Structure 1
Amino acid sequence: MQNINGQLSEEKVFKDPVHRYIHVRDTLIWELIGTREFQRLRRIRQLGTTFFTFHGAEHSRFNHSLGVYEIMRRIIEVFQGRPHWDNNERLLCLSAALLHDVGHGPFSHSFEKVFNTDHEEWTREIILGETEINQVLRKMGEDFPQKVADVIEKTYSNKLVVSLISSQIDADRMDYLQRDAYFTGVSYGHFDMERILRVMRPMEDQAVIKQSGMHAVEDYIMSRYQMYWQVYFHPVTRSAEVILSKILMRTKHLYEAGYEFKQEPVHFYSLFNEKKSIEDYLRLDEAIILYYFQIWQEEDDRILRDLCGRFLNRRLFKYVEFNPNLQMKEWPILYQLFHEAGIDPEYYLVVDSSSDLPYDFYRPGEEEERLPIHLQMPNGKIRELSRESDVVEAISGKKRTDHKLYFPFDFLEDETENATIKQKIKAILFK
């Protein structure tokens, strides 16, 4: 091997089911892949609880991170020698693409909600803290870790570089849509990525798409729309997430109440006490979480025992459509009836909402400004995508929200106790 800024003596390849091969030629990238923090991503699933719904969805954030790196590598090949592209940014782009998800925790989004933590903040901590990743990045220069963190945080001065990893059409989205479609076995997430990459062009602030590639981009946006509603927001997956969240909430509540666990949750202590260290965080992966769930099936606490058994053995909550804005009067009635039936509504009656905006045009002043996709017309002028595409215009700016009410139907079916109350509950839920 040569120095960290150089090339490997021989190219390394990863066989990949989505991109066929992932090519690594840079010493820097190869060393980053070998760090303990990056290898930890093998033990974190990309799609959290989705494997309960689509049994093939066992792929990891390690798979995805390599895929984002590979797409970024191919984009850079297309950009080489073109105006507005500075090849000095190449290793920065590749590093940011590889490391953009390194801060994800186990079952990420449920985990973050309960413990009030953020994977983006942890990504920054891992890149800038006392870690193997930081040591490798600093071989490129003392300021290089900060540059990588800035790209991922979208604060880096070169907006073109930021857009390649964080925009409405970027390396991250292009990988996860195809990868998640492949591993879930659905047909929605497929689009002609090769075509999109061929017609991407660097501009001052973002990559644009040649107008001749517009239909490939339409396909990409529709595949994203379908994946969100058919896969990411699938109600069965959300049921598993609800139970997972409630297990973590119950554990935290019991700890704060002084409950004596048969298996002490030592890996959670720093999160419970809000004294979060990188070392403690990196020790948490999905194998550790599932180990605790397995053990907690034997705890004295009835709720924790039940919820862990449900999660591990896929005895999920049933769901009905429930819009809290339109059914506000029913909520307190149901809550009270659950109490009377001896079913704790804090853990067994849950409204879960999902929403997505498939594509948005520029809205200045909004809290999260979305950089729209721009087309480069044959005359060189730039046009925003929804002004040229009827398909995209039809869904632009249209936020769709879905509400479900989750509950343990098996508890309601068991009428050996509180039969009359349970019948009242079912009458409301299934009217």
Structure 2
Amino acid sequence: MAYKDEQLSEEKVFKDPVHRYVHVRDRVIWDLIATPEFQRLRRIKQLGTTNLTFHGAEHSRFNHSLGVYEIVRRILNNFKGREHWNNEERLLCLSAALLHDLGHGPFSHSFEKVFKLDHEYFTQAIIVGDTKVNEVLQKVGPDFPNRVADVIGKTYEDQLVVSLISSQIDADRMDYLQRDAYYTGVSYGHFDMERILRVMRPIEDQVVIKSTGMHAVEDYIMSRYQMYWQVYFHPVTRSAEVILSKIFGRAKALYQDPDYEFKLEPTHFISFFEENVTLADYVKLDETIVQYYFHLWQEEDDAILSDLCERFMNRRLLKYVEFNPNLQMNDYMELMRLFKQAGIDPEYYLVVDSSSDLPYDFYRPGEEEERLPIHLQMPNGNLKELSRHSDIVESISGKKRTDHKLYFPVDLLKALTDKRVRNAILEILYGQGESSNVD
């Protein structure tokens, strides 16, 4: 029997709090899970710093990746024998679902922003590079690693396969919304996934939804909307991300300063600081290593790096106020001047952070990122774009919401001995000077 068709002697299962069980029968999938690159995902949290806001959010990219695989496995069971579905693509879909987040780094998005990295690039690099994952995929066929990488890069010729993992209603989102809701303890992310899976239909280059399942999809869209604003963009989580980004930025600046010498050589970060990261360097780094450095950097001679690391490790976060950059830029410039006068470096302690989300979009020619809309399959077989049939979805379609916060260390402000400067800062931030409640 060819390796790609080989089945385990008995089905293996992972007990899962979201899907109850994750089922594995294919030898290829079982071998991929056992690779060091996939096991590394146990040491990368799915939600980065969110556990500092919702203490239960300790789940990993490993959990999520298994969940996405399981959802795709169930979808493909429902697709079996249907027109437009080529069952020869089954193993490709399962492999891409399992490996889609393989390239995430520690504290993913903050890490990527500072070091100008792209997790999708590293996901593809791990799949086609000199790795154990590649060894397993090569045993399926010499072109199989590239096919898996193309699915994840959204360039695979069969866009139906791509849409299962990356679209406006895909296995990735369906897993993370439910999983993140479960571990954060909120109710927003729950929707009737089983109903959605039952009404998904393969049609040429995309998955469509039977019109009878429209209300379950509405629930899914609204769950996503609520999760982004109540969990993913929570201002306390964003405060921790601001500190995290500034730690990485400060450590990089100190490394580039010829007059500064670290007490502990930042060995694992050197190629990132020098912007010549190899694949081997990348896969060695996980959150346990990063936090080891943060723990030790609390003792560094540099006061800023030491303070930022202590804040992050002990959850002594920055406070925030609402901020409108279009109307308050003069205030921001004045705050920068006052911070410098007070001896507080605004580069690290006065930070504007912005978040934005588009909960659902319809196709608009000429847009930079083409977002294929969700289509409903009507009883006569015709397709109808979701927002044209659903008043709920239509009300939020194409409406990008953006939120800005200004973050600052209220403890350092309260400790200022120059009352004139302190009051001037508080007046701008709160409008009440020294009498403001800055807790």
- For this structure pair, what is the TM-score category when the shorter chain's length is used for normalisation? over 0.9
Deviation, structure 1 residue 4: 4.3
Deviation, structure 1 residue 364: 1.6
What is the one-letter code of the residue matched to 1:59? H
Q: Find the aligned partners of 1:4 and 1:403 in 2 and give their Cα distance.
A: 50
Q: What is the match of residue 115 of structure 1?
A: 115
What is the one-letter code of the residue matched to 2:40? R
Q: Does 1:77 align with 2:77?
A: yes
Structure 2 counterparts to residues 42-191 of structure 1, below 5 A = 42-191=42-191
Deviation, structure 1 residue 199: 0.4
Q: What is the match of residue 404 of structure 1?
A: 405
1:296 and 1:308 in contact (8 A); partners too: yes
Structure 2 counterparts to residues 1-400 of structure 1, below 5 A = 3-258=3-258, 259-400=260-401
Q: What is the match of residue 422 of structure 2?
A: 422
Q: Find the aligned partners of 1:185 and 1:383 in 2 and give their Cα distance.
A: 35
Q: Find the aligned partners of 1:22 and 1:261 in 2 and give their Cα distance.
A: 45
Q: Find the aligned partners of 1:364 and 1:159 in 2 and give their Cα distance.
A: 18
Equivalent position SS for 2:227 = helix
Greater Cα offset, 215-224 or 264-273: 264-273
Q: Find the aligned partners of 1:161 and 1:270 in 2 and give their Cα distance.
A: 35
Greater Cα offset, 1-10 or 345-354: 1-10
1:199 and 1:210 in contact (8 A); partners too: yes
CA shift digits 1:138-177 (9 cap, x unpaired): 0111100000000001000001001100000000000000
| TM-score when normalising by structure 1 | 0.99
Equivalent position SS for 2:54 = coil
Q: Find the aligned partners of 2:132 and 2:402 in 1 and give their Cα distance.
A: 41
Deviation, structure 1 residue 328: 1.3
What is the one-letter code of the residue matched to 1:199? V
* Percent pairwise identity: 75
Greater Cα offset, 272-281 or 184-193: 272-281
2:3 and 2:140 in contact (8 A); partners too: no
The CA RMSD over aligned residues, in Å, is 0.9
Q: Find the aligned partners of 2:220 and 2:179 in 1 and give their Cα distance.
A: 13
Q: List gaps (5 residues or longer) in structure 2.
A: 432-439
Count of residues in correspondence between the two structures:
430
CA shift digits 1:92-119 (9 cap, x unpaired): 0000000000000000000001001110
2:72 and 2:97 in contact (8 A); partners too: yes
Q: Find the aligned partners of 1:28 and 1:203 in 2 and give their Cα distance.
A: 28
1:96 and 1:149 in contact (8 A); partners too: yes
What is the one-letter code of the residue matched to 2:161? V
Q: What is the match of residue 437 of structure 2?
A: none
Deviation, structure 1 residue 5: 2.8
2:218 and 2:393 in contact (8 A); partners too: yes
What is the one-letter code of the residue matched to 2:81? G
Deviation, structure 1 residue 420: 1.4
Q: Find the aligned partners of 2:138 and 2:365 in 1 and give their Cα distance.
A: 37
Deviation, structure 1 residue 2: 7.8
What is the one-letter code of the residue matched to 1:289? V
Q: Find the aligned partners of 1:265 and 1:16 in 2 and give their Cα distance.
A: 37
1:2 and 1:8 in contact (8 A); partners too: no
Greater Cα offset, 361-370 or 69-78: 361-370
1:225 and 1:358 in contact (8 A); partners too: yes
Equivalent position SS for 2:5 = coil
1:104 and 1:119 in contact (8 A); partners too: yes
| TM-score when normalising by structure 2 | 0.97
Equivalent position SS for 2:354 = strand
What is the one-letter code of the residue matched to 2:298? Q
Q: Find the aligned partners of 1:206 and 1:364 in 2 and give their Cα distance.
A: 18
Q: Find the aligned partners of 1:147 and 1:419 in 2 and give their Cα distance.
A: 64
Equivalent position SS for 2:50 = helix
Deviation, structure 1 residue 6: 1.3
Deviation, structure 1 residue 272: 1.0
